[in-house]
Structure 1
C-alpha cells in the first residue's frame, strides 16, 4: 500500500490491516502509517487521516483487501458504504479567525463535500454542516464542543457521540488540539424527517 499525502504536515496514525493468505490463514497484510492524510491551508493545524472505507453493504471481504482510502478527499462514505478517520481539531482561535461564508464554502469543497456546509443559512459557526449519515464520534484526546442548531454539548476524552444526520459543527474552544475518531455510515432520511429539513438538507 503506497502512502499518499496531500502535503507534508501530518499526524501519523498506525494502521494494521488483516487478511488471508493463499491457504485461508489469517495474516497481517499491512502495519504502518495510514496512507491518506488531508490538511488544508484554509484551516491551519487541522489534520484528517482516513483509515479505511467499505464501499457497499454487506461489505465485501476479500482475501487481500485493496487500498480504499486514496484521494481525492471525500468527506462522505460512498452509497451504502462507511469510512473511519481520525481528525485533529486545532483550537478555533487562530485557525478560524475571520472565516466568512466564502472561505467556509471553499473549506468544505476541499473536504470533498461542497454542498454540505450550512453556515450561510445558520450563521452559528463557520463549520456548520449536515451529512445524510450516522456518525460515531469517539474523543481520544482533548476537549471539543459539538454545536447543534441552538444547543451544544462539551465532549472530553473517552466520550462517544452518535450523530444522526443533524446540522452540527465541531468547535475547539480550548488551547490544545482535540483528537476524535469518526465512523460515518451512509444513511437516508425517512420521508417524514426529510420534509421537515431545509431544502436540500444543507
Structure 2
C-alpha cells in the first residue's frame, strides 16, 4: 500500500505553533485492486474548530458530514487493473455522482476526467473543481 505522509501543524505550546503529528496515515483502504483511498483530515462543521483534534478512524468510505469537509488522498489505477471494460455508446462503468464540492490536484500520472458530455486529459499539476456532478476517471495505461 502507498506510504502517505501526514503532518499536522496545530496547537500552541508556550505561544508557538507545533507539529502534533508527523507519520504515515493509518487508514489507507484498498477498495479495488490498486484503488487506494485515505481520509487525511476532516472537519465536522463550518467554520472549522481549530482547537479540536480528532483522529480519523480506519473506515471504508465515510460520507462527508453536512457543512463539514474531508481531505482525501486517492490513487487511481488503470481501468484494466480494476477490471473495467469500456463499451461503445455506454457511460463509463465507474461514472458516479457525489453531493460534494471536490478539489482535485493531480500529483502524478495522466488520466482522463470523463463527464456526461466530454472529457479532458489531466496531467501533474492540473487542478479540478468538481461541483456535485456525474464524473469518472479513466487511466488507460
Question: What is the aligned length?
Answer: 139
Confirm or deny: 8 A CA contact 2:79 2:85 kept in the other structure: no
**C-alpha separation in 2, matches of 1:156 and 1:128:** 20
Which secondary structure state, in structure 2, belongs to the residue aligned with residue 168 of structure 1? strand
The structure with more helix, counted as a fraction of residues: 1
**C-alpha separation in 2, matches of 1:76 and 1:146:** 22
**C-alpha separation in 1, matches of 2:85 and 2:126:** 30
The answer to whether structure 1 residue 17 and structure 2 residue 8 are counterparts is yes
Deviation at 1:98, TM superposition (A): 5.2
Confirm or deny: 8 A CA contact 2:28 2:58 kept in the other structure: no
**C-alpha separation in 2, matches of 1:92 and 1:27:** 42
Q: Which runs of 5+ in 2 are unaligned?
A: none
Match of 1:65 among 53, 62, 79: 53
The answer to whether structure 1 residue 55 and structure 2 residue 22 are counterparts is no
Deviation at 1:127, TM superposition (A): 1.1
TM-score in terms of structure 1 length:
0.63
Q: Which runs of 5+ in 1 are unaligned?
A: 1-9, 100-121, 176-202
Deviations 1:94-146 (A, max 9, x none): 322459xxxxxxxxxxxxxxxxxxxxxx9411211111111111000000111
Which secondary structure state, in structure 2, belongs to the residue aligned with residue 163 of structure 1? strand
Structure 2 match to 1:125: 92
Deviation at 1:21, TM superposition (A): 4.1
The answer to whether structure 1 residue 74 and structure 2 residue 58 are counterparts is no
Structure 1 match to 2:127: 160
TM-score in terms of structure 2 length:
0.88
Confirm or deny: 8 A CA contact 2:27 2:59 kept in the other structure: no
Give runs of ≥4 in structure 1 deviating > 4 Å.
none
**C-alpha separation in 1, matches of 2:14 and 2:118:** 54
The structure with more strand, counted as a fraction of residues: 2
